[in-house]
Amino acid sequence: MKKEVLKLFKQIGAIAIVTFHELIREKILWSSFLFGILCVGLAYAVSQLSFVESARIALSFGLTAVSIVGGLISVVMGASLIAKEVQNRTLYLVLTKSVWRWQLVLGRYLGLCGVLVLNTACMIFILFVVFLFLGGSFQIQFLQCLLLQLIELGILSSIACIFSAFTTPTLAAVFTLGIWVIGHAMEGFQIVVKKAEISGLLNGVLNILIQVLPDLTRFDVKAQIAHTLPLTWLYTMHTVFYGVSYIVFALVLSCFIFSKRDL
């Protein structure tokens, strides 16, 4: 039994490694990464416009850039994660091995996560070098921010995975992008729904949407970091739990959809 479980994980690992290899070669990754680095450089330039708090301005600007670049990579690469395997027909050979379809989805997802972790870690590292150079000092909140940023990217990728399991990469990217935007406007969306006093079916539908769509505003702690506002570990862990639960739900859904798909 234990051996069988180990074998399942080894197979998922093999798929994740190949996916990582595949994605790391993508031009979109490198151009996004370069764009991110440019933004961090720009953050330094912008910070020079101010005589005070230049380090915090650079940090705030840089974190926004890292978040946007990471999000774009998640959307674009996540959207083609499974669809590309279907289009390229490389999955035929994989699925004729003793591999379940859910293992393929999970392996591909983990491969993408590897790329996102590497990409985000590199950009954050460069940003912090700039931050320290401008006179900033290390705070533990940076790690909390990095963790929440990665979880948000994980959620976006898992949503992209759902769409990628049944539609084309372009449509999957459009849908995921929409959810990303809505997810970041969720707080405002909730207030509008409450205040508008909508009744009946529409209210029900909107409330279901609020429950189902991810609330990405929870992961946005850039303001707390830039202005040294308190960010408790309890909040961080609570948000991580929410994010991981959402990822699990999204992955289960994508595995289910993909397992039912005729190839």
Judged by the rule CB under 8 A, the positions of this chain that interact with other proteins are 7, 10-11, 13-15, 17-18, 21-22, 25, 88-90, 92-100, 262-263
Q: Could you tell me how far CA 130 lies from the centroid of its own chain?
A: 24
Q: Which is nearer to other proteins, 96 or 137 (CB)?
A: 96
Q: Which is nearer to other proteins, 17 or 174 (CB)?
A: 17
97: which DSSP letter? S
Q: Which is nearer to other proteins, 189 or 258 (CB)?
A: 258
- What is the distance between the alpha carbons of residues 18 and 104, in angstroms, rounded to a whole number? 11
Shortest distance (Å) from residue 30 CB to other proteins: 15
Q: CA Rg, the chain, in Å?
A: 20
Q: Which is nearer to other proteins, 10 or 195 (CB)?
A: 10
Shortest distance (Å) from residue 83 CB to other proteins: 14
Shortest distance (Å) from residue 263 CB to other proteins: 6
Q: How many residues are recorded in the chain?
A: 263
Q: Which is nearer to other proteins, 146 or 257 (CB)?
A: 257
For 68, the token pair is 């946007």
Q: How far is CA 56 from CA 133, 137, 145, 247, in A?
A: 12, 10, 14, 32
Phi-psi sector, 213: left (phi>0), alpha (psi -120 to 50), beta = beta
Shortest distance (Å) from residue 92 CB to other proteins: 5
Q: Which is nearer to other proteins, 110 or 156 (CB)?
A: 110
Q: Which is nearer to other proteins, 92 or 241 (CB)?
A: 92
For 143, the token pair is 């790690």
Q: How many CA atoms lie within 13 A of 48 on its CB side?
A: 8
- What is the distance between the alpha carbons of residues 139 and 40, in angstroms, rounded to a whole number? 19
Shortest distance (Å) from residue 216 CB to other proteins: 33
197: which DSSP letter? T
Shortest distance (Å) from residue 94 CB to other proteins: 6
Shortest distance (Å) from residue 99 CB to other proteins: 5
Shortest distance (Å) from residue 257 CB to other proteins: 15
Cβ-proximal residues to 219 (8 Å cutoff; 6+ apart), any chain: 148, 149, 151, 152, 155, 239, 243
Q: Which is nearer to other proteins, 17 or 193 (CB)?
A: 17
From the list 186, 185, 157, 184, the residue with the least C-alpha distance to 173 is 157
The number of beta carbons lying within 10 Å of the beta carbon of residue 83 is 23
